[in-house]
């Protein structure tokens, strides 16, 4: 797939742990940018005809990850879209490469305590619902995944303690700044 030629057409991709606000913040960014909004979990659920929790329970995590990679591949073909991804998308380097080819990847970072507070409805999140100690599961998963989140991202927005509207503003600012620096690179090196 070719690289998007116009920086302004590149997707805004949100990565981050469960409960980091990818869908809520993503929807608001899409409205502000007048981009379409997509969510990898929603596309997986639509195609499978069942919830993420049911896919995990009935078909297993490996099946979910395969469906998720298909969703990433298809959504990465979009232009001018905001794509909210499931928290485990960054664990597959092929997913990351596809998303970075056509978009700017922004990490929504929150610390473990805030994630635990935000994931109140964890029955819908099979990786937490299956844990005896959700706080311990969050801390260990977050530690294991942090390097993947950070290396996937073109920019990081720290959301711990931040009101949602402020997080939206910071994501938009990060996206615009990435577009601008890419424009400058294109202008000084048109070939």
C-beta of 158: minimal distance to ligand S3P in Å? 17
The answer to whether residue 41 forms part of the interface with ligand S3P (CB under 6 A) is yes
Residue 76 sits in the site that holds ligand S3P (CB under 6 A): no
Q: What is the Cα–Cα distance from 94 to 100, expressed in whole angstroms?
A: 10
Closer by beta carbon to ligand S3P, 103 or else 126:
126
Direct distance between the N- and C-terminal alpha carbons of the chain, in angstroms, rounded to an integer:
18
Total number of residues that touch ligand S3P (CB under 6 A): 10
Instruction: Work out whether 87 is an interface residue with ligand S3P (CB under 6 A).
Output: yes
Question: Is 103 near ligand S3P (CB under 6 A)?
Answer: no
- DSSP-derived secondary structure letter, 3: P
Residue 76 C-beta: closest distance to ligand S3P, Å: 16
Residue whose C-alpha is closest to residue 86's, from 123, 128, 44: 44
Residue 94 burial (CB count, 10 A)? 10
Work out which of 14, 86, 110, 122 binds ligand S3P, going by CB under 6 A.
86
Q: How far is the CB of 183 from ligand S3P (least distance, A)?
A: 31
CB 75 within 8 A of CB 39: no
> Within 106-135, which residues bind ligand S3P (CB under 6 A)?
125-127
Say if residue 118 is exposed, middle or buried (CB neighbours under 10 Å; 0-12, 13-18, 19+).
middle
Q: Interface with ligand S3P includes 52 (CB under 6 A)?
A: yes
Distances (CA, A) of 130 to 53, 106, 124, 134, 180: 11, 28, 11, 8, 44
Q: Which of 88, 106, 167, 178 binds ligand S3P (CB under 6 A)?
A: 88
If binding is defined by CB under 6 A, does position 154 make contact with ligand S3P?
Answer: no
Question: Which residues are near ligand S3P by CB under 6 A?
Answer: 18, 22, 41, 52, 86-88, 125-127
């Amino acid at each position: 797939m070719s690289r998007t030629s116009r920086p302004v057409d590149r997707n805004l991709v949100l990565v981050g742990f469960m409960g980091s606000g990818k869908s809520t913040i993503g929807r608001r960014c899409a409205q502000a940018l007048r981009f379409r909004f997509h969510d990898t979990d929603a596309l997986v659920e639509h195609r499978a005809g069942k919830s993420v929790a049911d896919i995990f329970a009935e078909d297993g995590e490996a099946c979910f990850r395969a469906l998720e990679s298909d969703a990433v591949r298809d959504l990465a073909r979009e232009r001018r879209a905001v794509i909210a991804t499931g928290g485990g998308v960054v664990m597959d380097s092929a997913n990351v490469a596809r998303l970075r080819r056509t978009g700017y990847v922004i990490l929504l970072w929150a610390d473990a305590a805030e994630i635990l507070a935000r994931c109140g409805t964890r029955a819908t999140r099979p990786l937490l619902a299956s844990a005896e100690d959700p706080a311990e599961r969050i801390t260990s998963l977050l530690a294991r995944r942090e390097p993947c989140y950070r290396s996937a991202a073109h920019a990081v927005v720290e959301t711990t303690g931040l009101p949602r509207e402020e997080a939206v503003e910071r994501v938009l600012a990060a996206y615009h700044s990435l577009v601008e620096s890419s424009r400058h690179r294109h202008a000084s090196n048109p070939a």
